[in-house]
């Protein structure tokens, strides 16, 4: 991520014409591996990343962030490092400490060099070749950590100029890392400030994957303003799934200076299709995108609306993350609400009529003056093509910042309608939507009514 993205617009190039089938690679023991478009940990258990980015290189003193991110439910942290070409180099000792912090908190470490951001357009950025030099210079602290570390060669290599060289440069970097003895799963970012509007990564991913002697490379797309509709998101990610190529959303936000990404669709599609995602970013943003902070001043007890959304919302980290099996423990802990107000629910009490639906309203989290609400919509004994939910607040509460539904109100009466990707529900199937609300005094659970369409 750069603090102000430059995007030239979507280009229409030839789509993938063939479906690739990649079997289990001959992978070094005890490390991550890729097979049939999926990522597996060292125990052979499929691993789906659910986590956030942390700007370690600019805030090296914020080491408590690893534990705080874990406590909120994440299984992965993508750590910003610097090769010394643009920002102060993270030493081998510092990287070793980062890895130890990840392991102590049972997180998978995705380590990335940020100095490559926007090469070709940003004159201060460096090349993938220089980033590869850095990885090889600290190889001694990476070797032996294949169970816990994924090497993300360079952040957003290439801006919107010179990106035609992406495939060759990326393949060469991968081969150099393998020759240098690194057997880790490698992650590679897309060009065009990570957003691949030119489809350069999409259309050359098979070639780059095959350039890896170990067939152990994962592709990373960054989703900001280019990905502002569910159709664009599902089309891009779906092509990798169809091709049997591993893809993760290595960065995304709920808003950005280049447009309004559809974070709800990103999270919903990723969850439905077993695709990892890593939101940007924990804290410390500047340059006009401070709104992308998930925690105010690195404080896990001061989550922003974006932090609440990604950690506690529908298809969010808390609900969907599963700890890597190499840590062999119970599921990760979850955060305690700022105020100890227990969740309350009004579940369906009778079976809905054929073709109908019911709704259950839950207060998921509450703090002084605010709360997070969630509503579960369940189809009846027949499939439905859409739904709307209606409720009236009795004590002056308000609702805003909704996800997975379009919410409107007339005074204290609110109506939530499905969005394009969650309206059709099979018989007995459910979906959820959520919102951030405000309250003053008391916050009783309202009665809700669901209407199918």
Kindly write down the DSSP assignment for every residue of 401-437, as one continuous string.
Answer: EEESSEEEEETTEEEEE--TTTS-B-TT-EEEEEEEE
DSSP 90: P
Question: CA-CA distance, 66 to 74, in Å (whole number)?
Answer: 10
Q: What is the pLDDT of residue 440?
A: 86
pLDDT score recorded for residue 342: 38
Distance, in Å, from the CA atom of 304 to the CA atom of 307, rounded to the nearest integer, reads: 5
Give the catalytic positions in this structure. Answer: 156, 251
* Other CB atoms within 10 A of residue 419 CB: 20
The answer to whether the beta carbons of residues 62 and 56 sit under 8 Å apart is yes
DSSP, collapsed to helix, strand or coil, labels residue 270 as helix
Q: What is the pLDDT of residue 73?
A: 97
The Cα 358–Cα 80 span in angstroms is: 45
Q: What is the DSSP letter of 265?
A: H
Q: How far apart are CA 138 and CA 95, in angstroms?
A: 8
pLDDT value at residue 29: 46
Instruction: Tell me the CB-side half-sphere exposure of residue 401, using CA atoms within 13 A.
Output: 18
| Contact assessment for residue 247 and residue 241, using Cβ atoms and an 8 Å cutoff | yes
Three-state DSSP at 176 gives helix
**Closest alpha carbon to 246 in 7, 10, 40, 108:** 40
Q: Alpha helix (H) ranges present in 111-229?
A: 128-137, 139-142, 166-179, 200-211
Residue written as tokens 């500047």?
Answer: 286
Sheet of strand 398-403: strand arrangement: 345-346, 357-367, 370-379, 430-438, 398-403
For residues 150-169, one letter each, b for 16 or more C-beta atoms within 10 angstroms of the residue's C-beta and e for the rest, the string is: bbbbbbbbbbbeebebbbeb
pLDDT truncated to tens, each residue of the chain (453 aa)? 653 333 333 332 222 333 333 444 334 447 999 999 999 999 999 999 999 999 999 999 999 999 999 999 999 999 999 999 999 999 999 999 999 999 999 999 999 999 999 999 999 999 999 999 999 999 999 999 999 999 999 999 999 999 999 999 999 999 999 999 999 999 999 999 999 999 999 999 999 999 999 999 999 999 999 999 999 999 999 999 999 999 999 999 999 999 999 999 999 999 999 999 999 999 999 999 999 999 999 999 999 999 999 999 999 999 999 999 999 854 433 333 333 333 344 336 334 444 799 999 999 877 778 888 889 999 999 989 999 999 999 999 999 878 788 999 999 999 999 987 788 888 888 888 888 889 888 999 999 999 998
**Whether 291 contacts 283, CB under 8 Å:** no
> Closest Cα to residue 115, out of 168, 162, 154, 171?
154
Q: What's residue 60's pLDDT? A: 96
pLDDT given at position 2: 55
Q: What is the dihedral of CA 29, 237, 197, 315, to 10 degrees?
A: -100
Q: What local confidence, expressed as pLDDT, does residue 1 receive?
A: 67
CA-CA distance, 198 to 357, in Å (whole number)? Answer: 43
């Amino acid at each position: 991520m750069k603090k102000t993205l430059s995007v030239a617009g979507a280009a229409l190039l030839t789509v993938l014409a063939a479906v690739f089938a990649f079997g289990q690679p001959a992978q070094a023991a005890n490390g991550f591996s890729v097979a049939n478009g999926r990522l597996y940990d060292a125990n052979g258990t499929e691993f789906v990343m659910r986590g956030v980015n942390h700007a370690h290189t600019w805030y090296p003193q914020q080491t408590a962030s690893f534990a705080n991110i874990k406590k909120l439910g994440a299984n992965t942290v993508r750590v910003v490092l610097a090769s010394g070409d643009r920002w102060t180099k993270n030493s081998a000792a510092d990287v070793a400490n980062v890895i130890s912090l990840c392991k102590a908190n049972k997180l998978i470490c995705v380590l990335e060099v940020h100095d490559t951001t926007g090469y070709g357009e940003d004159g201060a950025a460096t090349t993938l070749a220089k980033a590869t030099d850095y990885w090889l210079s600290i190889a001694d602290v990476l070797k032996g950590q294949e169970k816990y570390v994924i090497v993300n060669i360079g952040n957003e290599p290439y801006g919107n100029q010179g990106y035609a060289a992406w495939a060759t440069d990326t393949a060469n970097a991968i081969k150099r890392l393998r020759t240098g003895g690194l057997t880790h799963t490698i992650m590679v970012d897309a060009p065009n400030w990570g957003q691949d509007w030119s489809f350069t990564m999409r259309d050359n991913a098979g070639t780059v994957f095959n350039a890896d002697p170990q067939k152990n490379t994962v592709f990373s797309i960054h989703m900001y303003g280019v990905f502002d509709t569910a159709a664009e998101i599902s089309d891009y990610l779906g092509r990798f799934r169809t091709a049997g190529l591993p893809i993760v959303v290595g960065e995304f936000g709920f808003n950005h200076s280049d447009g309004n990404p559809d974070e709800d669709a990103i999270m919903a599609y990723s969850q439905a299709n077993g695709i990892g995602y890593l939101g940007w970013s924990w804290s410390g943003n500047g340059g006009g995108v401070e709104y992308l902070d998930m925690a105010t001043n690195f404080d896990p007890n001061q989550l922003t609306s974006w932090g609440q959304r990604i950690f506690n919302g529908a298809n969010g980290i808390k609900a969907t993350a599963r700890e890597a099996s190499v840590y062999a423990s119970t599921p990760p802990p979850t955060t305690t609400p700022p105020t100890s107000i227990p969740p309350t629910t009004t579940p369906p009490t009778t079976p809905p009529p054929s073709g109908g639906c019911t709704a259950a309203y839950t207060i998921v989290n509450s703090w002084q003056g605010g709360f997070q609400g969630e509503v579960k919509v369940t189809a009846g004994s027949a499939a439905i093509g859409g739904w709307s939910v209606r409720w009236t607040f009795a004590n002056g509460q308000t609702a805003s910042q909704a996800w997975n539904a379009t919410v409107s109100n007339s005074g204290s009466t609110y109506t939530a309608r499905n969005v394009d990707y969650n309206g059709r529900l099979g018989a007995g199937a459910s979906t959820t939507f959520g919102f951030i609300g405000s309250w003053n005094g008391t916050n009783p659970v309202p009665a809700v009514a669901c209407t199918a369409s």
